[in-house]
Amino acid sequence: MTLDWSVVWDNRWRLIAGAEMTILLTAITMMLALPGGLILALLRLSPLRAVRSATTWFVEFFRATPLILQIYWMFYVLPAAFDIRLSEFATALLGLTLNVSSFNSETFRAGIQSIRPGQWNAGLALGMSKPQVMRKIILPQATLRVLPALASTWVSLFKDTSLVSIIAVADLSYVALKIRSETYRVLEVLTAMAALYCLMGYPQAKLVDWLHRRLKVTE
Amino acid sequence: MDIDVSPLILNWQFILTGLGFTISLSLLSIILGAAIGIFGGVARTYGGPLLDTIGGVYVDLVRSIPVLAILVWTYFAFPLVIGESLTPFTGGVLALGVHLGAYITETIRAGLTSVRPGQMRAALALGMSRTQAIRTIILPQAVIRMLPPLGSLIVIAVKDSAIASVIAVPELLRQSQVLAGKTFRPFEIYTSAMLIYFLICYPTARMIDRIYRNLAPLGAS
């Protein structure tokens, strides 16, 4: 079996463009999913039972079903059943954002609930309203506490963007698989794809480890 | 929008075959992942610096690559390396198992190292051998602590089995795709696929939560 790595070198710009799309998708999704997750978390902690219930079902549904199926569902069902026509990129973004928002909402909720009740009591005793306490006292502490978990979610999201290749969004996986089917150099192209993901993912994972060490909670 | 579930009812065996493959793919990949993970976790914790480094490379490598990439590489590229072709199902089990193994390795390593070092020192001071100390003192405490992350990894394994549809393993998602393509009723078919996954994963997750809630006090030290 002879290996011909020139295929990878010749197509390097396409692969790099794919990597850029992967990073773009990750960044935009996280930008939307952080506030999205926070909103869902606050809705889950709402005093109104109906709001709490509906949000819980929403979040649990997105956490218990595979992301790939969610993306397929949005891609095929939105135009066919609801007459909503989005571009592939928008559909992918929608699917990823809703999914990651649900995971983020659990993270934020855990962070908010981990702040000692004394903080709440002190804030309320000082005459602040509940939203004020949440905004000025609880959320800043909670966000710092869950930053490592959010960073882990970022790395997972980075890997999950590979799934948008199935609806022909030109991320790294899509581009690599396309090059493979054009050149039939299976081992070289697929190994290059794995290596590129590793190259991008490994520093991120180490950064997350550093964040975990740095922001460890010691009470 | 008219809802017509008749394609589902007519083709229930087709969908059921898919469900069977999903469950068997998940179970086998969990078993393979657990075998790799237990060996890797114990080797990384108690095996000395060489095994720790090798295990570290394996874990960092596998955890930086998406499941899709691992699946595609295992099914298309790996046969070229070993000279034997793999069936989609075998490729799926292998890829998902290796992927899960990395996460289980880290979970077990974290669990084993989370037991306070004083416990090991006390056991050794009492005259126990290392193996005795690990077996009777460290493991019971560590296993309890590993249960929540292991539980969520099980749910993740079921969800990741759906990705095997890209290498044409005839599991639930793939069967749903084929059926939706044939009958042009994507809403009913994909929605019911989502419901089936939800009905598998959500009770599993809650059950694991409940089991852990009952066992958690035993793991504190």
Tell me if B220 is assigned to some domain: no
Per residue in B144-196, pLDDT (tens digit) is 888 889 999 999 999 999 999 999 999 999 999 999 999 988 899 999 999 99
A57 — pLDDT class (breaks 50, 70, 90): very high
Q: What is the 3-state secondary structure (H, E, C) of chain A?
A: CCCCCHHHHHCHHHHHHHHHHHHHHHHHHHHHHHHHHHHHHHHHCCCCHHHHHHHHHHHHHHHHCCHHHHHHHHHHHHHHHHCCCCCHHHHHHHHHHHHHHHHHHHHHHHHHHHCCHHHHHHHHHCCCCHHHHHHHHHHHHHHHHHHHHHHHHHHHHHHHHHHHHHHCCCCHHHHHHHHHHHHCCHHHHHHHHHHHHHHHHHHHHHHHHHHHHHCCCCC
Q: How many residues in total does chain B contain?
A: 221
CATH class given for the domain over A6-214: mainly alpha
pTM score of the predicted model: 0.91
User: For position B159, what pLDDT does the model report?
Assistant: 96
Q: Measured on CA atoms in the order A95, A97, A103, A105, is the torsion positive or negative?
A: negative
More confidently predicted of A213 and B2? A213
For residue B204, tell me if it sits in a domain: no
Residue B66 placed within a domain? yes
pLDDT of res. B219: 65
Name the percent of chain B lying above pLDDT 90: 72
Give per-residue pLDDT as tens, A94-122: 999 999 999 999 999 999 999 999 999 99
Q: A172 — phi, psi (to 5°)?
A: -60, -45
**Residue B206 belongs to some domain of the structure:** no
The closest CB to that of B187, out of A69, A80, A160, belongs to A80
User: If interface means Cβ-Cβ distance under 8 Å, which residues of chain B face chain A?
Assistant: 1, 60-61, 63-70, 72-73, 76-77, 80-81, 155, 159-163, 165-166, 173, 176-177, 180, 186-187, 190-191, 193-194, 197-198, 201-202, 205
pLDDT band (50, 70, 90) for residue B221? low
> Within 13 Å of residue A98, how many CA atoms lie on the same side as its CB?
21
- Is position B218 within any domain? no
CB pairs under 8 A between A and B: 115
List the CATH number of the domain containing B116: 1.10.3720.10
Picking from B172, B194, B209 by the largest number of A CB atoms within 10 A of its own CB, the best residue to mutate is B194
Using the Cβ of A5 and the Cβ atoms of chain B, whether some distance falls under 8 Å is answered with no
Segment B26-39, tens digit of pLDDT: 999 999 999 999 99
What is the count of structural domains for chain B?
Answer: 1
Domain that residue B163 falls in:
26-169
- CA–CA dist A44, B22 (Å, integer): 32
Q: What tokens were used for A170? A: 């030109």
Mean pLDDT on A31-58:
95
Q: What pLDDT is stored for residue B90 in this prediction?
A: 96
- Residues B32 and B26: their CA atoms lie apart, in Å, by 10
What's the mean pLDDT in A158-163?
95
B195 domain-assigned: no
Residue A15 forms contact with B (CB below 8 Å) = no
Question: What is the rounded CA–CA span in Å between residue B77 and residue B85?
Answer: 10
Whether residue A218 has pLDDT greater than 90? no
pLDDT at residue B58 tops 80: yes
**Residue whose C-alpha is closest to residue A202's, from B57, B179, B150, B105:** B57
